[in-house]
Chain A
Amino acid sequence: MHCVQCHGSGAAGSPGYPNLNDDDWLWGGDLAAIEFTITHGARNPDHDRTRTSQMPAFGRDGILQPTQIDDLVAHVRTISRQQPSDAAAGRGAALFIDNCASCHGPEGRGNRQLGAPNLNDPIWLYGGDAETLRTTIANARAGVMPRWGNRLDPVTIRMLAAYVHSLGGGEAAPAAPPGAGR
């Protein structure tokens, strides 16, 4: 009732809204991380514990030229094994280290503390085709999820977390307490 509007009745998500069945997590897939995300939401204005990060709008804000963005797209499509490496991708690799690696990592494997998606896998939040990637890099993406801590009681949230965890992608809690989270 609370989640289906965005994540769908089977929790398979849709462009911009993550699929909760898979094993690819933006902010972490163990029980505690899921519970934290549900409680505090993502990029919630006026809430200081919410999951938050800000991707720059490289094109709109003039940080990169359109040709540079095309090179970056080629690089990202190469590391995600959607196209073979070429000259553009080579140029994009250098740009990636300078502009993207701080969040997505030097190899583009993402960073869950920042909700930075893994760019190597075939799971795309908005789409992995060249056109969508160009839009994403130019205008940035910042999906918002409401926080439910002020609407649902902790027991309900814990049950929701357990349910989401059981959908198939749930991860075991890491040995060390997660850096992100509480």
Chain B
Amino acid sequence: MAHLTDVSGTSFFAKRRGVYPKAVDGTFRRLKWAIMAVTLAIYYVTPWLRWDRGPYAPDQAVLVDLAGRRFYMFGIEIWPHEFYYVAGLLIMAGIGLFLVTSAVGRAWCGYACPQTVWTDLFQHVERFIDGDRNAQIRLAQGRWSLSKIARRAAKYAVWLLIAISTGGAWIFYFADAPTLARDFVAGDAAWVAYSTVGILTATTFVFGGFMREQVCIYMCPWPRIQGAMLDEKSLIVTYKEWRGEPRSHGVKKASLADLNVGDCIDCNACVAVCPTGIDIREGQQIGCITCALCIDACDKVMAQVGRPRGLIDYATFENADLERRGEAPKPIAKEVFRPRTILYFSLWAAIGCVMLFGLGARTRIDVSAQQDRNPLYVRLSDGTIRNGYTVKIRNMEARPRNVAVTFEGLPGAVIWTETGSRSGAGREVRAIVPPDALLKLRIFVAAPGVEGRREDAAFSVRALDAEGGGDRVEVSFEGPDQ
């Protein structure tokens, strides 16, 4: 059998061998069940959660409104210019991945990666319809018969159902879920909805049903990066070869014959349950997603042959070395909490805190101003100099807001809007900014006694309601000495 660790061939790619993982039960299997249930539930249920934002905003809890250029997440609303929050989340996800990997190895791969979760789901379906490992192998090698056709059809049908609902759930994040669901079924949804569902259905069906571990080994960059992220203090699934070797068939017989044998009885249970079809006894390898199902399988066998559990177990390289030399391993907590993980965690937490603070302190009114460039200034009949600006006020809350705009920095300056006139001009201009929208005001400023080339000034916007808040933008006021 060709193994992933073989380097004798000249090809970069190995032909896929069938992988028919055997069902197993144990601590890690149950953990995987729990994580699968939680992640799938989050994925499928989230778009259907509602969140009341008042009459001017959508009531979907999590919504990526591409057309309206808003991102809603429960009480948080992100505007396009605030995309750095999303960038921050991505950076946190990246550092979080570093943290998890350096602490507990490829835990992401083994438990939470969508490829793993859906492959796991598909494999359960496969076992439910085709039977366990041996039955699957028999079926795969057997000739085509009516029963095989029926089983294949049933399996593909269930896979397809899962794939469609997976692709289908994705689009609900981008529009009002109940409306889109109705339109989708009625055939009234946008073509992009159908094509998205089509593409995601295809990828789910193919990746989860057929490509499986090939995606991890050949398509995903993360296993390679993670390989570089691991160090001697990272927890990884380890076959304790100093305990297991030499392998024997029949521990009792061997000990009776007084042979020097290890605990491994070469039952291949660890290989049989592996969802990527590797042999963990060859050591760390790219195909190992550290799902720890081999630990569950081996523990069961060890219990049956009356040996202590943990022949295959989570261990660090450092502890493996210690144990190999017959010394006591260090406590796991001591391995996990080390400068590297603490640094990652501090970084991760610091970014999170800064973003939380930013979210809490961000003002929901934003102002920007653009000065008229042609002409830069206008001399009025009383000798004062007038400049014109286009002032844009963003109201990022889902209710209309009364604001006052003032011009600061030039004594005696008066301002008025396009719809007003200079005779009614004063120190401030009032406006109502519609909910969740941008108001464009053309504002004229007339200031006496400006003869220089340029003066520094600023527009200041403040909300007149109880909540208050505001923003300020610096502008220049151009004079005649150009």
For A121, the chain B residues whose CB sits under 8 A away are 381-383
Q: B473 contacts which chain A residues (CB < 8 A)?
A: none
- Chain B residues within an 8 Å CB radius of A168: 378, 386, 388, 444
Q: Which residues of B contact A12 (CB under 8 A)?
A: 374-375, 378
**Is B260 located at the chain interface by the 8 A CB criterion?**
no
A 139-182 binary contact with B (CB < 8 Å = 1; else 0): 00000000000000000000000000010111110000000000
Contact A22 B378 (CB under 8 A): yes
Interface SS of B by simple majority: loop
Count class of interface residues, chain B: 10 to 19
- What's the minimum C-beta distance from A120 to chain B, rounded to whole angstroms? 8
* B388→A122 contact, CB < 8 A: no
What chain A residues lie within 8 Å of B373 (beta carbons)?
10
Per a CB cutoff under 8 Å, which of B372, B374, B380, B418 touches A23? B380
B224 interface hit (Cβ, 8 Å): no
Q: How far is the CB of B449 from chain A (nearest CB, A)?
A: 13
Give the contacts of B410-446 with A (CB-CB under 8 A): 418, 421-422, 444
Please, how many angstroms separate the alpha-carbon atoms of A166 and B373 in the complex? 16
- The minimal Cβ–Cβ distance linking A29 to chain B, given in whole angstroms, is 11
One of A11, A24, A118, A166 near B418 (C-beta < 8 A): A166
Q: Judging by beta carbons under 8 Å apart, are A122 and B383 in contact?
A: yes
Chain B residues 368-418 with CB under 8 Å of chain A are: 372-375, 378-383, 386, 388, 418
Specify the chain A residue showing the minimal Cβ separation from B423: A172
How many residues does chain A have at the interface if contact means C-beta atoms less than 8 Å apart?
Answer: 20
A5 at the binding interface (Cβ < 8 Å): no
The answer to whether B421 and A172 have CB atoms under 8 Å apart is yes
* Chain B: CB-nearest residue to A10: B374
Asked if A123 lies at the interface with its beta carbon under 8 angstroms from chain B, I say: yes
Report Cα–Cα, A5/B422, bound state, in Å: 29
Once bound together, how far apart are the Cα atoms of A172 and B422, in whole Å? 11
Task: Tell me if A21 and B375 are in contact (CB < 8 A).
Answer: yes
Taking CB as reference atom, which chain A residue is nearest B381?
A121
| Chain B CB within 8 A of A67 CB | no
Q: Are A122 and B378 in contact (CB under 8 A)?
A: no
Q: Are B375 and A24 in contact (CB under 8 A)?
A: no
- Closest chain B CB from A70 CB (angstroms): 25
A23 engages B381 (CB within 8 Å): yes
**Is B379 a contact of A123 with CB atoms below 8 Å?**
yes
Asked if A19 and B378 make an inter-chain contact with CB atoms under 8 angstroms apart, the answer reads yes
Q: Is the CB of B381 within 8 A of A24?
A: yes
A24 to B381, CA, bound (A): 6
A120 to B, closest residue via Cβ: B381
Q: Is the CB of B380 within 8 A of A22?
A: yes
Q: B: which residues have CB within 8 A of A?
A: 372-375, 378-383, 386, 388, 418, 421-422, 444
Given contacts A21-B378, A168-B386, 15 further A-B contacts (CB under 8 A): A11-B375, A12-B375, A12-B378, A22-B380, A23-B422, A24-B380, A118-B381, A122-B379, A122-B383, A123-B380, A123-B381, A168-B388, A168-B444, A169-B380, A171-B421
User: Which residues in A have some Cβ–Cβ distance to B below 8 Å?
Assistant: 8-12, 19, 21-24, 118, 121-123, 166, 168-172
Q: List the 7 shortest-distance A-B pairs measured between CB atoms, nearest first.
A: A10-B374, A12-B375, A121-B381, A21-B378, A24-B381, A10-B375, A122-B383
- 5 CB < 8 A contacts A-B: A9-B374, A12-B374, A21-B378, A22-B381, A170-B421
